[in-house]
Amino acid sequence: MTTTVELELQPADGARLASLCGPLDDNIKQLERRLGVAINYHNQHFSIAGKPAQINIACELLKDLYVQTQPLRDQGVPDITPDLVHLLIQESQTLEQDIRPDAHHIYDKALTIKTKRGLIKPRSPNQANYIAHMLSHDITFGIGPAGTGKTYLAVAAAVDALERQEVRRILLTRPAVEAGEKLGFLPGDLSQKVDPYLRPLYDALFEMLGFEQVEKLIERNVIEVAPLAYMRGRTLNDAFIILDESQNTTLEQMKMFLTRIGFNSRAVVTGDITQVDLPRNAKSGLRHAMEVLDGVEGLSFNFFEAEDVVRHPVVARIVRAYELFDNQQRSHDEGQS
């Protein structure tokens, strides 16, 4: 059953309306395509046709997006980008489902994290639980496909803990594993060779703190970004430690990392067990940890799915296609054995 709802956006403002709709009405078209509704408008008056549930979502999103077009001081009307529309659509469809009952009050704290992009907040139930667990557990595992916000949210939580003076330093690390390429052919010393592997961590920091602030904190050793091999033999107190791309750790490396954690420290371990770059005869330290550490007090395992992807919508469809293929392949192999 389809119906039509009328919506009036106030106050009337041509510049804000243009920002809301986007160039050539691209934002309106994305809403129509993703929500399965038809949207017509004249000036500030909108007419939305479709199924009642989808119409309600569309109306709330239009009102929310229009609020975000309020002019900023000395900067004029902000642009409403397709990325923002995508994120709000995803959030509206998933955030209120399956959130752990006790998670709401604890991840409200995380909503106060401020970056140059504004407040950072979860876009799905799994992200909400992930944030809640990072605030309440000594070691948190974030496991799932690319684009689900595992690393970004972990860096945000680390920056928040540092600014609240809950920790004195941030340490970001990942294994420098060759993904089909050889490190020896890269120019520079060891630090320069592994720097490209650490670039995603730098990018997240730059976005949240700004380039100059990050550089100052690195100079003062308040922030340290280093390959995992540099962690051996250290004990890390009063720190927020993030191990990224942990699916590429060996069993020994994962155990070494987890036993580096000292007093008043928190650790987050992120990885995607479907993208292991280790040699074929080497078992992933992340897979092993999932088996060995399940049920250990103070640890939390959080699993992300294709629905949690916050990149381009096609990325979620790609993840689902690979998952379906892997499941079919696994069923076929089991039938052969």
Same domain, residue pair 123 and 220: yes
Give the predicted TM-score (pTM) of the model: 0.65
Judge if 163 and 289 occupy the same domain. yes
What are the tens digits of pLDDT across the range 126-157? 888 888 888 888 899 999 988 888 998 999 88
- Strand (E) or helix (H) holding 148: none
Amino acid found at 106 = I
pLDDT on residue 105:
45
Residues 6 or more apart in contact with residue 47 via CB below 8 angstroms: 4, 5, 6, 7, 39, 40, 41
Domain residue limits at 235 = 103-304
Residue 139: how many other CB atoms lie within 10 Å? 22
Same domain? For 168 and 206 the reply is yes
The answer to whether residues 256 and 128 belong to one domain is: yes
**Which CATH number fits the domain that encloses residue 18?**
3.30.1370.10
pLDDT, residue 30, reads 86
Q: Report if residue 326 sits inside a domain.
A: no
Per the structure, how many domains does the chain have? 2
Co-location of 76 and 117 in the same domain: no
Q: Is pLDDT at 241 greater than 90 in this prediction?
A: yes
